[in-house]
Structure formats: C-alpha cells, structure tokens
Amino acid sequence: MSPPDPNEALRLATFAVGADLFAVDIMRIREIARPLPITPVPRAPHGMVGVIDLRGVVLPLFDLRERFDLPARSAAEALTIRHLIVKLDGRTFGIVVDAMHDVIGITRAQMRVGPGVLVGEAAEVFFGVVPAGERLALLLNLRRVITRHDRLALNELLGPSSALAPQTPPRAQRSP
C-alpha cells in the first residue's frame, strides 16, 4: 500500500463543543439538522442521550459535551446546537454539537498527526490537528469517540497548555 498523497485535498466541517473547535471529514456527514425531540434510552452508554426520529429512521444520538465531560450548556448555548448526522462503518447516528462553523479545505500535508502532536488518550480520540483560520481544530476520530464507554475529560486529554484555544480559561471539573 502506497503512502497517502500529501497534496490530496480534504474538506472538513468545523464545529464547536464548548470553547473548543473540532473538525470531521465532510464525507462522513449525511446532514446537519436543527435539534429534534430526544427519547431517552435507559442504561445507554455514557454520552448517548437517547434516540431521535429523523424522517422515520430512528438513530442513536450522542452529545459530545457529555462524552467530553463538559459542563451543561447555558440557555444561550442551547440556541445554537445542531444534530450532526454522520455515517460510519455502515451505521448512521447523530452527534450533538454546540455550533457549526465553516467547511475548510486543506491538504493532507497541512494535517499535524503522529507522535508529539497528541499523546496518550488524546491520540486515541483525535487523529491530530488541522489549521482552521487563526486557530487549530481537533480532527475527531469518530469511531473512538463513540465506541469508548468511559468519560473523556477534555481537560485531561489535552492538558492545561493546549494551544488549540489559548484564550479559553480552564473549565471547572464536574463530579461523576
């Protein structure tokens, strides 16, 4: 198998969860929907807030705020949330994000991945970082984010010296 072409063009959708910026390959996104009514599911995995009915199709819905162990949304933040409907490994599911941002175009060479970029659990949950304007966005590994059953404390994953959002004050930790 040949190595990936560094000039390969990628299109990524960027979105916010809390004060942090994330990105996902636009080819994984089926659609972006306004919030739909959620039916809770007892004993669902951590971060799965329930199921939604998207035009007759029932889909599991994961809230990245809960997966990343972030504080609950304020009333103002709740006004901009979206359900990102994604397809992965033949399965379709929804992800709750705080706000959608831009679709960015980058080349594979602009991605910062591998040893030294992200370490420990962060390297399992994120592929790496990509430039998004004046900031860097974390490129999500959707498979790992959704299939992990434990809490993913973003502050612990990235550490206090995160260059992703230097203007962001540290968050208070929630108790489990």
pLDDT along the chain (176 residues), means of 10: 82 94 95 95 87 94 90 90 93 94 93 72 80 92 74 46 37 38
Is residue 47 within 8 Å of residue 61, measured between CB atoms?
no
Beta bridge partners of 53: 58
Q: Which CATH number fits domain 10-158: 2.40.50.180, 3.40.50.970, 3.10.20.30, 3.30.1330.10?
A: 2.40.50.180
Would you list the domain boundaries of the chain?
10-158
pLDDT value at residue 95: 95
Instruction: Measure the CA–CA gap between 34 and 9, rounded to whole angstroms.
Output: 29
pTM metric for this prediction: 0.78
pLDDT value at residue 167: 36
Is residue 171 within 8 Å of residue 25, measured between CB atoms?
no
**Beta-carbon neighbour count of residue 113 at 10 Å?**
15
pLDDT value at residue 46: 81
In the chain, beta strands by DSSP E: 9-17, 20-25, 29-33, 48-54, 57-63, 82-88, 91-97, 99-107, 112-113, 126-132, 135-140
Which single residue is written with the structure tokens 């208070």? 172
pLDDT value at residue 149: 53
pLDDT value at residue 105: 95
pLDDT value at residue 126: 85
**Beta-carbon neighbour count of residue 103 at 10 Å?**
12
Instruction: Measure the CA–CA gap between 86 and 21, rounded to whole angstroms.
Output: 18
pLDDT value at residue 106: 93
Instruction: Measure the CA–CA gap between 139 and 21, rounded to whole angstroms.
Output: 9
